[in-house]
Amino acid sequence: MSNWKLSDFDVPPEEGKDRFHDFALPDPLMQAIQKLGYKYCTPIQSAVLPLSLADYDVTGQAQTGTGKTAAFLISVFTHFWENPLQEPLPSGCPRALVLAPTRELALQIEGDANALTQYMDEHTQCVVGGMDFQKQREKLQRNPVDLLVATPGRLIDFVNRRDINLKHVEILVIDEADRMLDMGFIPDVRRIVYQTPHKRERQTLFFSATFNDDVMRLAASWTLEGEHVVIEPESVATEQVDQHFWLVSTDAKAKLLVEFIEKKKPERMLIFANRRDQTHRLQKYLSNRKIDCEALAGDVPQRKRLSTLNRFKDGEVSYIVATDVAGRGIHVDGITHVVNYDLPEDPEDYVHRIGRTGRAGAEGTSISFISEDDAFNLPALEDYLGAPVSCAQPDL
């Protein structure tokens, strides 16, 4: 593959779409993009890349599953390529830092980064809680780190021990800022940001699914005249998803779910419940009826969560019952169905959930069970989607 040429990657221009060819990206990065099967930019990539590649700070409003991870990673690695180091940095001194709220999302970003740099001499490392601290420490000391992906708490542990120094960070990426706010991480994030160079001396890319007043204040304090990009959730997260709302009594939900699985045999499905205890009860109920499924919730040990995710990605497990926090880290192509066993109280979570299917141009199906309790959450969802929700009897 060493004799690869850009001309080997033929993507014809198409009306209304941007190609990765249009951004003068490094050839080794384009080679990886070709291997990953990317051809045309998603809306968030088309909006962000012209700004981020020109070194502007960006505040981007976009859901997961829209391609924003690739947008900021492409910007980071292009910057590295165009600005090579004159001499190596000491160990534990990253040139770029990505902060993410959950272990699963951080590990997913690390995987995407490794895929994009498979033909480049750039090194990505990930430090997250819930995994062996000493092993992460040894890896940091043993290998250089160009891009560091981290969750806030574990990163602070490393900074306090002086295993990581953030004074050389050229690009700071804050991903899912609203989720970090919801999870109480902002004081930790603020401490981390203060460890990096001043915002006039670094580039900052700040992403959030929503921009309320609190998030706007954070964006304003951490970016320098950031260019604001908005990708509306309805246009990206629900466009490819066939949405259904089924009327069902609370005590009939589990039976209906079993009947649906046995009759329709969905290929790969995520089932969302609102509480941890409910997640475990439902998983046990399905398993007792010979339906192979696993649970993902915050109280599941990290090693088991990663094992479950990998088995789901590899197709060894077809069905997962998850809570919203666990579900945010699931970025798996080929999910055919999402079932909202409970309708979430926050309509934004609804969009995040159904965005797990209908990815990468594929079509997907979402089914929401609407019981007498769930009905209370419908008006807020209708307001958020800007359209009435039509409930019907189960279509089996």
Per-residue pLDDT tens over the stretch 335-377: 899 999 999 988 878 888 888 887 666 778 999 999 998 888 8
Task: Tell me if 1 is assigned to some domain.
Answer: no
**Residue span of the structural domain in which 159 resides:** 6-231
Two tokens, residue 234: 């309805």
Q: Taking the alpha carbons of 369, 374, 376, 377 in that order, is the dihedral positive or negative?
A: negative
Rounded CA-CA distance 269/340 in Å is: 11
- Tell whether 187 and 44 lie within a shared domain: yes
Cα separation of the two ends of the chain: 50
Task: Tell me if 50 is assigned to some domain.
Answer: yes
Task: Tell me if 120 is assigned to some domain.
Answer: yes
CATH number at residue 295: 3.40.50.300
- Please write the tens of the pLDDT for every residue from 94-143: 999 999 998 888 998 999 999 999 999 999 999 998 888 999 999 999 98
- Please write the tens of the pLDDT for every residue from 82-104: 999 999 999 999 999 999 998 88
Instruction: Please list the helix, strand and coil fractions of the chain in percent, rounded to the nearest 5, in that order.
Output: 45, 15, 40
- Tell whether 127 and 170 lie within a shared domain: yes
- Tell whether 275 and 375 lie within a shared domain: yes
Report whether pLDDT(40) > 70.
Answer: yes
Task: Tell me if 392 is assigned to some domain.
Answer: no
- Tell whether 14 and 147 lie within a shared domain: yes
Judge contact between 33 and 11, C-beta under 8 A: no
Q: What is the helix (H) or strand (E) element at residue 149, kind and residue range?
A: strand 147-150
**Of residues 76 and 181, more confidently modeled:** 76
Rounded CA-CA distance 156/163 in Å is: 10
- Tell whether 251 and 185 lie within a shared domain: no
Rounded CA-CA distance 166/2 in Å is: 34
Rounded CA-CA distance 383/222 in Å is: 31
Task: Tell me if 51 is assigned to some domain.
Answer: yes
Residue tagged 């989607």 (tokens): 385
Judge contact between 113 and 149, C-beta under 8 A: yes
Judge contact between 49 and 75, C-beta under 8 A: yes
Report whether pLDDT(256) > 80.
Answer: yes
Rounded CA-CA distance 33/25 in Å is: 10
- Tell whether 161 and 18 lie within a shared domain: yes
Q: Determine phi and psi for 319, rounding to 5 degrees.
A: -130, 135
Contacts of 384 (CB under 8 A, 6+ apart): 347, 348, 350, 351
- Please write the tens of the pLDDT for every residue from 179-215: 898 888 999 999 999 999 999 999 999 999 888 899 9
Rounded CA-CA distance 240/124 in Å is: 32
DSSP one-letter code for 19: B
Determine which of 27-36, 195-204, 300-309 has the lowest per-residue pLDDT on average.
300-309
Which of 204, 231, 258 delimits the end of a domain? 231
- Tell whether 220 and 245 lie within a shared domain: no
Task: Tell me if 396 is assigned to some domain.
Answer: no
- Tell whether 265 and 178 lie within a shared domain: no
Judge contact between 101 and 179, C-beta under 8 A: yes
Report whether pLDDT(243) > 80.
Answer: yes
Which of 231, 252, 280 delimits the end of a domain? 231
Under the banding of pLDDT at 50, 70 and 90, the label for residue 1 is very low
Total domains, the chain: 2
- Tell whether 191 and 277 lie within a shared domain: no
- Tell whether 257 and 354 lie within a shared domain: yes
Mean pLDDT of 299-304: 76
Which of 210, 231, 252 delimits the end of a domain? 231
Mean pLDDT of 19-38: 94
Task: Tell me if 20 is assigned to some domain.
Answer: yes
- Tell whether 16 and 129 lie within a shared domain: yes
Judge contact between 243 and 220, C-beta under 8 A: no
What pTM was computed for the model? Answer: 0.69
Task: Tell me if 297 is assigned to some domain.
Answer: yes
- Tell whether 287 and 215 lie within a shared domain: no
